[in-house]
Every structure is written in C-alpha cells, then in structure tokens.
Chain A
Amino acid sequence: MKPAAFDYHRPASAEEAVQMLAEYGDSAKVLAGGQSLVPMLTLRLAAFEHLIDIGRLAPLQGIERRAGGVRIGAMTTQAAIERSTLVADAIPLVARATPFIGHFQIRNRGTIGGSCAHADPAAEYPAVLLALEAEFEVMSATGRRVVQAAEFFAGLWTTVLADDELLTAVNVPVWEGRCGFAIEEFARRHGDFAIAGAAVALQLGDDDRVRRCHVALLGLGMTPERAAEAERALNGIRVDEVDPDEIGRLAMEPLESIPSDVHGSAGYRRQVGASVVAKAWRAAAKEARGE
C-alpha cells in the first residue's frame, strides 16, 4: 500500500497551480485534502506523475456572505464549514450535510472543493449543492468560468473540469422565506458512504403551497441527481396534501443506474432511497411550516 513515485508540487498561488496544470495536463492531479485521492494512490488504483498540492493556498479558503449567497473557497475544510455559524444560519442544508461526511478526522482534512471535484455519487456536498443550485467557480491558465451545479457532475467520479482547470470556490444561494431543509441518509455505519440519501430544500408560500422544492439524491446513480418528477409533483401542492411515501416512490421511479454492491442490491437501494426521500421531505416540511 505504497503509491507509485510522483513529483510533489506545492504552488504558491492558484495562478501558479493552473500554470502547472496547463503544463502537465493529464499526468497531473490536484491534491486537496487527500481523503479520497491518497487512498486511491496507495492502493495503486490511480497513479499520476505530478501531484499539485493546493491544500495550503489561503486565497482558496474561507467562507463569506455575498449578495444572494455564500461563497465558500474550494480549500475550506469540511470541519471549518461544520463550525461556521454563517453556514449554519444562511445555508443550513450545507451545515446539516457536513456531519454525515466520514468522521471528524476526515473532515479536518477533507475540503468542499475536493469533495466536489472527486464527484463521488454518494458524497454529501455534491448532492446538497445540486439541490441548492450552487455555482462552481473554475479557473485555468487561460481564464475563468462559472459552472452551474446541474452541469458540473458528468459521471462516476467525473466532472466537467478539464485537465487544466481548477475548482476555486462554490457559491451557494441563500433561500429566504418559509423554508425547510433536510438531509437524510442510510449508511451501514455512521460515516460510511450512504446506501441512499436525499437532500430536500423547500420553500412554501404563505398559502402553505410549495413554491420551490428541490430534491437531490445521493448514492443512487452515477452522479448525484435531482428527483425531477418528484419535484414536479410537489410544485404548487398544499404541503398538508403531500403523501411523502408517494414522493419517495416518484423520486425512485426514473432511476436507471442505481448501483449494486456487497452492501445492497439496486432493488434494496431503491426501497431505502424512497424511505429517505420521504423522511427528508417530512423534516423539511415540518421546518418550513415552523413546527
């Protein structure tokens, strides 16, 4: 369990980091908190000639309130997010998702950017950012661009980031009004990748009707996914007329690439998925109604 040899680089700035990415192309990999990459290297499931360590770049760290949202630097650790009162107040779904990520030792090193760029379909942050329709700030040696969450995750452990691009921050919209947020997941043990999970962001009108409801699923496909049919069914419905189990069923119905492994078959995950969606809906609805 020793990695193959690689050159270790620690650039002094994000600009220098993307210069290196431009130079080394796909023979380089960005090292953030290392909580997924390093085990893959030591198991020799992956090998890169160059590792570019951006973990200590201060400009990529930090949480700040901006108009309409919260900007979180890509190298902000999960532990920092967990401790942030700004996150807890403004984007509580992100705060609530964080304790599900591994264990505190992992969260002390793991970063939000690393988690998103690694794009494990069972990871919490990608699903939550998808639910909240966050924006991903990306830079390369040739410029910057912003990618919408719905576009960012391309496949299993794959994003739309090009080899020479670096994720620098995420912008998470703040939902105002009568809102409720919940994340529910079922894992074999606390801290394991979920067998199935669901994040719900809900906004109610004064008439108790659903104004906005976003449901994101984790662990149930090649990428985190929005439960579009469930969301459509909820749209405009009076909250007390919603059948949570039906929402769970609708959320699972279109899924075609539910994984199957030693922890559970696709069929089992579908059942568990429906139950976590229903559970997350109930919790979010309860909060939105101020109960």
Chain B
Amino acid sequence: MTAPDSAAARYTGARVHRVEDARLLTGRGTFVDDIVRSRMAHACFVRSPLASARIVAIDACAALEMPGVQAVFTADDLNSGVHESWYSAMGKHVPDTPRPPLAEGFVRFVGDPVALVIAGDRYVAEDAVDAVEVEYDPLPAVADYATARDAQALVHEGYPANVAGGLGTTLPDALSAIFKDSAHHVSVTVHQQAYAAVPLETRGMVAEWSGDELTVWAATQSPHEVRAFLARLLGLAENRVRVIMRDTGGGFGQKVMPMREEMCIGLAAMKMRSAVKWIEDRRENLMTAGMSRHEHGETHFAFDADGAIRGAYIDHVQDIGAYPTPWPVGTAAAVGMLFPGPYRVPAAAFRTTSVFSNTSGRVAYRGPWQFESLAREVTLDIAARHMHMDPVELRQRNLLRRDELPYANPNGMPYSDVTPVETFEKALQMLDYDAFRREQAVAREQGRYLGVGMCNYIEPTASAMSFYGTEGATIRIEPSGTVNVYVAGGSTGNSLETAAVQLTADALGVNIADVRTIQGDTAVTPFGAGTGGSRSGSMIAGAVEETAAILRERIVAIAAEHLEAAPGDMELADSHARVKGSPTNAVPLTKIAEIAYFMPHKLPAGIPAGLEASARYQARSPVIWANASHVCTCEVDIVTGAVNLLRYIVSEDCGPMINPSVVEGQIAGGVVQGIGGVLFEHLPYDEDGNPLATTFMDYLLPTACDVPTIEYGHVETAAPGPGGFKGVGEGGAIGAPPAVVNAIADALAPLGVEVTRLPLTPAAIRGLIEAAR
C-alpha cells in the first residue's frame, strides 16, 4: 500500500505569520534569565584586567566573608572536574586548542575568567568579585595577530610562533607560472577587523544538580550539543542531563557550542545544593564571548587579455585570539576552498594559517568563512579598475553558467544546482545598472561621489557532516486530532517553530491552527544538531516528511476502511481524509484519531493503535549549495567620510521558499550585520591588549536609520533535498561586506582611492582620501 503524497502544499511557500511572534512581541517569551528556581544562586566571574600575566596568588578571603557569598571557585576547584571537553559538532579527534574552564596559572586575554563567585544575588556577587584579590605578574602581550608569528612572547606554550595550525600550500609553481604568463596579474592584501555576533540576549545558563540529574536552562542554538557536551564534561550519563531552552535572543554562531563560562557553570552546579544562574552582561559579552572576522589575505588573480580568470590564490591568516571555539584551523579551510566562488577558475590553491593572540577567542559567526567572498570580490573590483573593465562585465565573463554544472572548483568544492548568472542578472535589473552609472556620472560633475558595489557568492548549506547530517522528528496526533511536532529546535529567533508547523500542516494535510511544535527540551525532543550551518529548513523538512509519511499511511488506512474506499483513492486536506474527486466523501482527522486511540477494534489489520510516529532524516547529499548576488549603492561625503547607503538589493536562490517572509527576514538580518561590519562594528585592542570597545558607546551597531530598505529578488531553483529547499541563514552576512566595500571604493575611485582595509569608519575613509591626494 502506498500512502498518498500530502495534498498540494497549502502553507509551504506562503507568507504565513510566525507562530512565535505573539509570544515574543508581547514580552511573553521565556529566556534563560526568566528562569527562577528555589534558592537559586547567582554567578559572576572574576576576570583578568591584563592581556597576559602569571597568576601569583588569588585571595578570596574577604569575598568569602561577605554576607550572601556562598562560594568562590578557582581553577584548582573546578578544572579538575573536567572529564572530556570535545564538541559533538567537531568530533573527538580534532587537534583542538586549549580550553580550560578557569585560567590555570596564566591569564591570556583581558576578560580571561580567573575565579567564579557564587552568591545569593548578582549584586552581592559583583561586590564579591571586586573583593577577590588576584596578584598578577604582568607578561608581554601578543596583542596583534598580524605580527604574532614574529613575536618573542607566546600565547600558549606548545604553539611555537603562536601558530595553532594551517592548511593548504604555498603558491605552487604551476600557479605562479600562470600568474607570470597572464595578461593581467592582480594581487592585493585585504584586511578585515574583529567584530562579533552581539546577540541581543547575551550568553547565560542556569544549572541545577539534584544529586541524580542535572537540569540546564541555556541560551543556546543547540540544546542537544549542550547536553552531550556537559554530560561528557562532567562524566555524567547523557540521560542524566536535561537541557531546556524555549527562547534564545539571537545566537549567530556565538551560541552554537558551550564555551568556558558554561563549562564553569556546569562544574560549579555540581558542587552547589541549589541552582546556579549566570547571565552574561553586555561588557562581558563584548569582551569575552568571542570575536570573529579578524583576518587578512593576500589574494592573487590572473586574467587573460579579455578578462577571463586563469588562476587564483589566497594566502589567508586569521586571528584566533587566546581561546577559540571550536577548533579554528578546520573551519578556516572553507575560506580557501570557497575562494574561487561562483566563477570559472581553471586553477587555484590556498593556504590558511591560524594565529593566536592575547585577545578574545575566535568563535563561529554567521558565515564563518565569509572572508573568501570579501577577499575575492574586493580583488575583482580592483582588477576591473586595473584592466579598465566594468566590474559587471568582468564578473559576467567569468560566472559559471547552469550548463557547466555540476562543476568542481579547483580547491575541491563540487558545486551543483546553483544560478549565479541568474541572480546577478536579476539584481542588476532591479537596480537598473546602466541608469545608475548615468546618475553617477552626473553626480560626479556636481562634486558628489556615488558608487555601486556588488558581490556574487556561493555558499554551502545543510552540511551532511557527521553530527549535522541527520535530524529527527516525532509527530503526535492527539486523540482530539490536534497535532504536536517535536524537533530538536535551537531557535534563536530564526523561525524554526513556524517552519516546523508549516511543513507539518502540509505534510499531514491539516489546518495550520491545529499544529503546534515543541522544541528545545532534550528530554522530549529527538536528538538534533540545532541551528547552525544554514541547515534547519532543509533538515526539519526532511525529518517532518519522513515522520509524516508514516502517519499518512496510517491515517489513510483507517479512513479508507471507515469510508469503504480504496486507500489509493484517498487524499489528505483541511484536516480531513477524503476520496479524491468526491470531497463530501470524507472523514475528519478528529474521527480518525478517535478510532486510532479509542476504538482499536476498528483499526484495519496491521495498523497499530495511536497516531504517534518518530523517524529520522538522513541528508542525501554532502552539502546543498545556495547562491546570491548583492548589489548596493552609496554616496560618500568626502569631507566627513560619512557613507550613506542608497539602495541595497539581494537576489538569492535558496530554492523554493518555505516562507518568503522568513527568508527575507534571514537575509535582512545578515545584511545588516554585514553592513555593520563594514561601517560600524569593531572590537579594537590597544598595543598592550586592552579592549577598546566594551560598551555600546564604542561598539556601534547599525540602527534602522543606518540601513536602507532591503530589496529582494528571489530565484527559486530546487536543490536535491527535501522540498528542494536550500539554506538561507548565513548568506546575508557573507554578501554584504564586499558589496558595501566595493560601493565605497567605486564612489572614491575618481580620487584614486583603493579600499583594502576594514572597517570603513568615516575617519578611515577620510584618511584614505587624504592619503590618495
């Protein structure tokens, strides 16, 4: 017997209102700081004021005498409790970098956690933090990763020249020969500054050890990773650890894995008789929750006389701070492997090197390999100017056409099912590129500096790598006929609930109002990797489909018997099972559920009682490729250096859209972060390793006033996966920086300015203009 496919998709593809919104927009969300437990204690870290020092002594006597202070833990108390500390996402066998819970013997960046105070409330905890006396013997700091390989000082003993590792190759002779032989060889070094995810909700955790079970409420993108990690960390059986998250206010990679502070809270909770709450404050978040994007790359592109790319190479160096999460060397490989982008590049190679510094550790951030696009697209614009070619023409000459797919780029990435020519064309049409160039020419005559910038990229989504390669769903149709769908979750605001509800409603042919979803509680949801790698849409769709197929078969069997019809003639729609072409010949799901649960004697032979099923989807391809083109225009005030973004256009192919509003929301969020990265956001350090942006006075995020209306052009080409869906979570943050940089560079080109260093603050732009004079 074959179950029918679900009725024609009713909700998938529609702008369904988000099911989370009523709760979130009326202040009824439940975030980790909303959790209150009986006699709950509050944690606050004593953090290093120095970038590098030996810890001579820690005296907590005065703190321990303060009323309300319950404990002060140091590395001696907590670190010995560590059993294992590897991440499911990376596996046990990567050559991971050090990650002690509390600093052992040495502090290695400003903010390094040295001790943990546990007190009756956070006020007292902060008073006690001030009372813990730590004596330091200052050491020279490696403040700048760019010179760290030549520094005398070492961030970690055991890593000579401060190098954590590298991959790839020095410039191969064959490629070098191509560069020499080509009509044009363009090489630049592109520098990107440190910036960070800056979620609206900072990190946080509540951990409660009952003597038998550890219950953890976490701000996380992956509750099951938190559970697995903490179980291993503490030497507990996995089924004795329960992790619960309802709402998390943004993660963007920062909350994809527990970090040192969360290790400390887990370890400390095991020693306390009541729950321990740690809520990171904003200063801690900016100082210690990790940085990203701090890297540079020497790029090489060779072109023939007509602008066709003949070869490409990048020598990439990234700052990993003192304590990166996760192992940064492997993730950096993606920068090199994706460097050729969506272009026809016959020969390429790369090298990447990860370098320690005495600064906040590198962490994952939305499109962690984003530098490949920045370096490539900025170089292409510089090359176009060098060759006196229009940057659009240069790109069009080299973009991969659909008839060339599948295409393996020379650095090992096998692209398929992408449409770079189509998205680029669409974005240019939306702008009316030629009209803009005319407007720009007129403006230049008036002494105004307008520019247009663009970026094409190709992006791996929904990776099937190990931990990420499967996703489970449980669907429970209740005796009343309402539906609950259970998936791992890890939604940080990215609409996983809406997606699960939409997909389930269509998969079962039920009304969306009858479907609810339960996510984020490891005790009740199937194992799953959570939000990360632009995977959730595709993977949840796969999991829901696998599970719904089981239930559809049972529903149809029960309904067919009830209606005395052939199962093959049945369809599911509007919360009914009905005979195709005879809509009145139908039975409601409520009745089917009643039979399934309360009238087992009426069940067809071989059909089990109840309407519950679990199944697990296994990704069918190693990766699902997505692509997009970003085009933006700007005006630069050459007196102040201020940039005014005029238009921002994204044309993307994320396959058929589950919900266009969610897709556009994801793109917008990423684009705003990318704009922020070019114009505003920066985590600078002084030469002694002191962080200079530890509040929102100095770490500037783009506001609604700083971002133009984002225009969307959707190209929908199916991927080889569930529903044809592709990932879309990260791309906005990848495509935006190069588009904005190139727009500014285009505006300033008449002044002889080349832009290769971020961020482009007004002062920096003003400096570039002066230097060009």
Q: Are A264 and B703 in contact (CB under 8 A)?
A: no
- Which residue from B692, B705, B761 sits with its C-beta under 8 Å from A264? B761
Instruction: Determine which residue in A4, A191, A268 has the highest number of CB atoms from chain B within 10 A of its CB, and name it.
Output: A268
For residue B642, CB closer than 8 A to chain A, the reply is: yes
User: What is the distance, in angstroms, from A193's C-beta to the closest C-beta of chain B?
Assistant: 8
How far apart sit A62 and B465, CA to CA, in the bound complex (Å)?
Answer: 66
8 Å CB interface, B94-132 against A: 122-123, 126-127, 130
- What mask results when residues 627 to 639 of chain B are scored 1 for a CB within 8 Å of chain A, else 0? 0000000000001
For residue B723, CB closer than 8 A to chain A, the reply is: no
> Which residues on the B side are within 8 Å of A265 (C-beta)?
763
Stretch at the interface among B152-160, B229-237, B693-701: B693-701
User: What is the distance, in angstroms, from A192's C-beta to the closest C-beta of chain B?
Assistant: 7
- Which residue from A4, A44, A261, A264 sits with its C-beta under 8 Å from B762? A264
Q: Are B705 and A190 in contact (CB under 8 A)?
A: yes
> Which residues on the B side are within 8 Å of A145 (C-beta)?
none
> Which residues on the B side are within 8 Å of A186 (C-beta)?
640, 642, 762
Q: Are A264 and B130 in contact (CB under 8 A)?
A: no
User: What is the distance, in angstroms, from A194's C-beta to the closest C-beta of chain B?
Assistant: 11
> Which residues on the A side are within 8 Å of B706 (C-beta)?
189
Given contacts A5-B127, A188-B680, A188-B700, contact A264 B639 (CB under 8 A): no
Instruction: Determine which residue in A39, A44, A264, A265 has the highest number of CB atoms from chain B within 10 A of its CB, and name it.
Output: A264
Given contacts A44-B130, A190-B703, A192-B700, contact A1 B767 (CB under 8 A): no
Q: Are A43 and B705 in contact (CB under 8 A)?
A: no
> Which residues on the A side are within 8 Å of B385 (C-beta)?
none
For residue A275, CB closer than 8 A to chain B, the reply is: yes
User: What is the distance, in angstroms, from B370's C-beta to the closest C-beta of chain A?
Assistant: 23
How far apart sit A185 and B31, CA to CA, in the bound complex (Å)?
Answer: 39
User: What is the distance, in angstroms, from B203's C-beta to the closest C-beta of chain A?
Assistant: 14
For residue B402, CB closer than 8 A to chain A, the reply is: no
Q: Are A271 and B684 in contact (CB under 8 A)?
A: no
- Which residue from B122, B684, B762 sits with its C-beta under 8 Å from A262? B684
Given contacts A43-B695, A263-B761, A271-B639, contact A189 B680 (CB under 8 A): yes
> Which residues on the B side are within 8 Å of A190 (C-beta)?
703, 705
Q: Are B682 and A2 in contact (CB under 8 A)?
A: no
For residue A272, CB closer than 8 A to chain B, the reply is: yes
> Which residues on the B side are within 8 Å of A2 (C-beta)?
122-123, 126
For residue B647, CB closer than 8 A to chain A, the reply is: no
How far apart sit A5 and B684, CA to CA, in the bound complex (Å)?
Answer: 32
> Which residues on the A side are within 8 Å of B130 (C-beta)?
4, 44
Nearest opposing residue in chain A for B123, CB measure = A2
8 Å CB interface, A58-112 against B: none
- Which residue from A3, A195, A262, A271 sits with its C-beta under 8 Å from B698? A262
- What mask results when residues 669 to 700 of chain B are scored 1 for a CB within 8 Å of chain A, else 0? 00000000000101010000000110101101
Given contacts A189-B700, A263-B761, A263-B763, contact A275 B123 (CB under 8 A): no
> Which residues on the B side are within 8 Å of A261 (C-beta)?
692, 698
For residue B18, CB closer than 8 A to chain A, the reply is: no
Given contacts A5-B123, A262-B692, A264-B761, contact A189 B705 (CB under 8 A): yes
For residue B766, CB closer than 8 A to chain A, the reply is: yes
8 Å CB interface, A217-263 against B: 261-263
> Which residues on the A side are within 8 Å of B684 (C-beta)?
262
How far apart sit A186 and B644, CA to CA, in the bound complex (Å)?
Answer: 13
> Which residues on the A side are within 8 Å of B642 (C-beta)?
186
How far apart sit A1 and B705, CA to CA, in the bound complex (Å)?
Answer: 28
Nearest opposing residue in chain A for B42, CB measure = A2
How far apart sit A275 and B130, CA to CA, in the bound complex (Å)?
Answer: 45
- What mask results when residues 184 to 207 of chain A are scored 1 for a CB within 8 Å of chain B, else 0? 001011111101000000000000
> Which residues on the B side are within 8 Å of A271 (C-beta)?
639-640, 766
How far apart sit A258 and B10, CA to CA, in the bound complex (Å)?
Answer: 63
How far apart sit A191 and B697, CA to CA, in the bound complex (Å)?
Answer: 11
Q: Are B682 and A262 in contact (CB under 8 A)?
A: yes
> Which residues on the B side are within 8 Å of A1 (C-beta)?
126, 281-283
Nearest opposing residue in chain B for A264, CB measure = B763
> Which residues on the A side are within 8 Å of B639 (C-beta)?
271-272, 275
Given contacts A2-B122, A189-B705, A190-B703, contact A272 B640 (CB under 8 A): yes
> Which residues on the A side are within 8 Å of B640 (C-beta)?
186, 271-272, 275
8 Å CB interface, B599-647 against A: 639-642
> Which residues on the B side are within 8 Å of A193 (C-beta)?
697
How far apart sit A4 and B693, CA to CA, in the bound complex (Å)?
Answer: 23
User: What is the distance, in angstroms, from B644's C-beta to the closest C-beta of chain A?
Assistant: 12
Q: Are B761 and A188 in contact (CB under 8 A)?
A: yes
User: What is the distance, in angstroms, from B41's C-beta to the closest C-beta of chain A?
Assistant: 15
8 Å CB interface, B390-424 against A: none
Given contacts A189-B705, A189-B706, A192-B700, contact A268 B123 (CB under 8 A): no
How far apart sit A272 and B761, CA to CA, in the bound complex (Å)?
Answer: 13
Q: Are A268 and B767 in contact (CB under 8 A)?
A: yes
Nearest opposing residue in chain B for A268, CB measure = B763
Instruction: Determine which residue in B281, B642, B763, B766 has the highest number of CB atoms from chain A within 10 A of its CB, and name it.
Output: B763
8 Å CB interface, A1-19 against B: 1-5
> Which residues on the A side are within 8 Å of B763 (C-beta)?
195, 263-265, 268
> Which residues on the B side are within 8 Å of A262 (C-beta)?
682, 684, 692-693, 698
- Which residue from B283, B682, B698, B767 sits with its C-beta under 8 Å from A43? B283
Instruction: Determine which residue in B123, B639, B680, B767 has the highest number of CB atoms from chain A within 10 A of its CB, and name it.
Output: B639
How far apart sit A43 and B281, CA to CA, in the bound complex (Å)?
Answer: 10
> Which residues on the A side are within 8 Å of B281 (C-beta)?
1
> Which residues on the A side are within 8 Å of B122 (C-beta)?
2
User: What is the distance, in angstroms, from A183's C-beta to the closest C-beta of chain B?
Assistant: 16
How far apart sit A258 and B698, CA to CA, in the bound complex (Å)?
Answer: 18
- What mask results when residues 689 to 725 of chain B are scored 1 for a CB within 8 Å of chain A, else 0? 0001101011010110110000000000000000000
How far apart sit A181 and B607, CA to CA, in the bound complex (Å)?
Answer: 84
Instruction: Determine which residue in B693, B698, B703, B762 has the highest number of CB atoms from chain A within 10 A of its CB, and name it.
Output: B762
How far apart sit A66 and B680, CA to CA, in the bound complex (Å)?
Answer: 45
User: What is the distance, in angstroms, from A51's C-beta to the closest C-beta of chain B?
Assistant: 15
> Which residues on the B side are within 8 Å of A264 (C-beta)?
761-763
How far apart sit A195 and B697, CA to CA, in the bound complex (Å)?
Answer: 12
User: What is the distance, in angstroms, from B289's C-beta to the closest C-beta of chain A?
Assistant: 14
- What mask results when residues 498 to 518 of chain B are scored 1 for a CB within 8 Å of chain A, else 0? 000000000000000000000
> Which residues on the A side are within 8 Å of B282 (C-beta)?
1
User: What is the distance, in angstroms, from B207's C-beta to the closest C-beta of chain A?
Assistant: 21
8 Å CB interface, A22-52 against B: 39, 43-44
Nearest opposing residue in chain A for B279, CB measure = A1
User: What is the distance, in angstroms, from B663's C-beta to the closest C-beta of chain A?
Assistant: 28
Nearest opposing residue in chain A for B127, CB measure = A4
Nearest opposing residue in chain A for B703, CB measure = A189
> Which residues on the B side are within 8 Å of A275 (C-beta)?
639-640
- What mask results when residues 113 to 143 of chain A are scored 1 for a CB within 8 Å of chain B, else 0? 0000000000000000000000000000000
- What mask results when residues 263 to 286 of chain A are scored 1 for a CB within 8 Å of chain B, else 0? 111001001100100000000000
8 Å CB interface, B575-612 against A: none
Q: Which residues of A contact B (CB under 8 A)?
A: 1-5, 39, 43-44, 186, 188-193, 195, 261-265, 268, 271-272, 275
Question: 24 pairs across A/B with beta carbons < 8 Å?
Answer: A1-B126, A1-B282, A2-B126, A4-B126, A4-B127, A39-B695, A188-B680, A189-B706, A190-B703, A192-B700, A193-B697, A262-B682, A262-B692, A263-B761, A263-B763, A264-B763, A268-B641, A268-B763, A268-B766, A271-B639, A271-B766, A272-B639, A275-B639, A275-B640
Q: Which residues of B contact A (CB under 8 A)?
A: 122-123, 126-127, 130, 281-283, 639-642, 680, 682, 684, 692-693, 695, 697-698, 700, 702-703, 705-706, 761-763, 766-767
| Closest A-B pairs by Cβ, 5 of them | A264-B763, A1-B281, A268-B763, A2-B123, A275-B639
* Contacts A44-B130, A268-B763, A272-B640 supplied; 19 other A-B pairs, CB < 8 Å: A1-B283, A4-B126, A4-B130, A5-B123, A188-B762, A189-B700, A189-B703, A189-B705, A195-B763, A261-B698, A263-B761, A264-B761, A264-B762, A264-B763, A265-B763, A268-B641, A268-B766, A272-B762, A275-B639
